[in-house]
Amino acid sequence: MSKTVLAVDDSKTMRDMVSFALTEAGFAVTTADDGAHGLKVAQEGTFDVIITDINMPNMDGITLIGHLRGLSQYQSTPILILTTESEQGKRDQGKNAGATGWIVKPFNPEKLIQVVNKVAA
């Protein structure tokens, strides 16, 4: 069974790139286009890893992480946030909300895969 990843980002470019890179690396990727959508998709399925952007309409990534950590099935699921270099503050907020780690944009596919492997058992 391949690992399942949920990638939440309001940018189609990012969704495409994340899902392309991870699919190549053997993951089964599902995407959602904002926090609220991501939460809904997460509740309807089970995922081994969740990757989320921070700045999104309807529900931001920090709030999403808070909600996910409140769900029993995602208490110990690795959750990664996608941030830019200049968002150190956001990274800390994400950590405090329960994020496992972060991926810095712009990322290259190898780095992305490396980080996901780092947190996914």
Partner 1 sequence: MDMQSFRKTYFEECQERLQEIETLLLSLESGDYQDEHLHAIFRAVHSIKGGAGAFGCDHIVSFAHIFETVLDSVRDHRLALDPELMEVLVTSSDVLAAIVAAAEQDQILAETFDAKAKADLSQYMDGAEHAPLPAAHASSSDAKKGTSRTYTIVFKPHSRLYEKANEPLLLLRELGGLGEMILSVNVDALPDLSAMDAVGGYLSWTITLTTTHHKDAITEVFEFVLDDCDLTITETDRTVAGEMKPTPPSDASPAIETGESKVSSIRVDLDKIDRLVNMVGELVITHAMLSQQAEKLARDGYPHLARGIEELSTHTRELQDHVMAIRAQPVRMAFARIPRLVRDVSKDVNKHIKLVMTGEETEVDKTVIENLADPLTHLIRNAIDHGIEDAETRKAAGKPAEGTISVSAGHRSGRILIEIRDDGAGLNTKKIAEKAKERGLIENPDLMSADELHQLIFNPGFSTAEQISNISGRGVGMDVVKRNIQSIGGKVYVKSEAGVGARFVLSLPLTLAVMDGMIVRVGSQKLILPISNILESLRPRRQDIATITEGGEVLDLRDHYIPLLRLNRLFNIPARYDEPWQGLVLIVESEQTTFALFVDELVGKQQVVIKSLEENYDPVEGISSATILGDGSVALILDPASLYDLHTKQGDSLAFAA
Residues binding partner 1 (CB under 8 A): 2-3, 10-14, 16-17, 19-20, 23-33, 37, 41, 55-57, 69, 75-79, 84-86, 95, 98-102, 104-108, 111, 113-114, 117-121
C-alpha closest to that of 62 among 106, 31, 95, 30: 95
Q: Least CB distance from residue 67 to partner 1, whole Å?
A: 15
Q: Least CB distance from residue 43 to partner 1, whole Å?
A: 13
Check residue 79 and give left, alpha or beta (phi > 0: left; psi -120 to 50: alpha): beta
What b/e sequence results for 47-59 when a residue is b if at least 16 CB atoms lie within 10 Å of its CB, and e otherwise? bbbbbbbbbbeeb
Q: Which is nearer to partner 1, 64 or 79 (CB)?
A: 79
